[in-house]
Structure 1
């Protein structure tokens, strides 16, 4: 499997800065409940943000809040997402739950995250090797290598 790593574009860098602005403006400390900001860009270029809400029951990650914000604002197709930590921690890759949700709802989205080659964008499909597609209508589907082609 070849991973489609791409250097960040000017739009990607703008998205990272948008997420950084969200977390910088709203963080409440290293041990606080608001420590990650996220931003997602729709295919129309509009950006939507979110911040995490840490809770012992597994409160929503910043990425999920940003996805909800985008959806509530009318965005249906999303191009790129990034999460950024407070105190200058920079981009952070999505957790497993977020990866599965991104894969299921936005299978063409690119994710900005740190890699061995620096911060890059990658297709969500490349973060989900051997992933199983889930839909509301049909539940979890058997592995389909065609999902990962091209």
Structure 2
């Protein structure tokens, strides 16, 4: 399955996108000024958000998606990941970095899902299955 490009007004997950936008407003990004928000929706309808957190030692920065996954795991969520929205400050939709794709994959594989990732820009949303963003993923089943 490839990416589907839709105007944000036509997206079925407008509330998830809005949650990611609200999370981005809490970004701690004093160095890059590149505020990112992420929102994860689970099968039970719950939504967990995260935002990027920078650090003066750049390698210690945390991406929004990783923060959201860590928050979900800390709250005991282990499966049922249905959708992820990622919002950045650019006109074009942004996609999760490679590390975040792997972190999202771990949570998805624990629940046996292939969530859709909504990559959000100023006026456009790309809906891409995680398996397309991270083909041939390494996960818990790979250790069997």
TM-score relative to the length of structure 2: 0.73
- In structure 2, relative to structure 1, the CA distance for the partners of 1:74 and 1:132 (3 Å cut) is closer
- Say whether the 8 Å CA contact 2:117–2:129 is kept in structure 1: yes
Residue pairs, 1:8-19, within 5 angstroms: 9-10=11-12, 12-19=13-20
Q: Where does residue 86 of structure 2 map in the other structure?
A: 83
- Whole-Å separation in 2 of the counterparts to 1:111 and 1:137: 22
- In structure 2, relative to structure 1, the CA distance for the partners of 1:23 and 1:89 (3 Å cut) is farther
Unaligned runs of 5+ in 1: 140-150
- Whole-Å separation in 2 of the counterparts to 1:94 and 1:5: 16
Q: Does 1:47 align with 2:47?
A: yes
Give 2:143's match in structure 1, choosing from 135, 138, 144: 138
Unaligned runs of 5+ in 2: none
Q: Which structure carries more relative contact order (alpha carbon 8 Å, separation 6+)?
A: 2
- In structure 2, relative to structure 1, the CA distance for the partners of 1:53 and 1:34 (3 Å cut) is farther
RMSD after superposition: 3.0
Report the 3-state secondary structure (helix = DSSP H, G, I; strand = E; otherwise coil) of the residue aligned with 1:57.
Answer: helix
- Whole-Å separation in 2 of the counterparts to 1:44 and 1:102: 18
- In structure 2, relative to structure 1, the CA distance for the partners of 1:89 and 1:72 (3 Å cut) is farther
More helix per residue: 1 or 2?
2
- Count of residue pairs brought into register by the alignment: 132
Deviation at 1:104, TM superposition (A): 3.2
Q: Where does residue 146 of structure 1 map in the other structure?
A: none
- In structure 2, relative to structure 1, the CA distance for the partners of 1:71 and 1:89 (3 Å cut) is farther
Q: Where does residue 98 of structure 2 map in the other structure?
A: 96
Q: Does 1:65 align with 2:70?
A: no
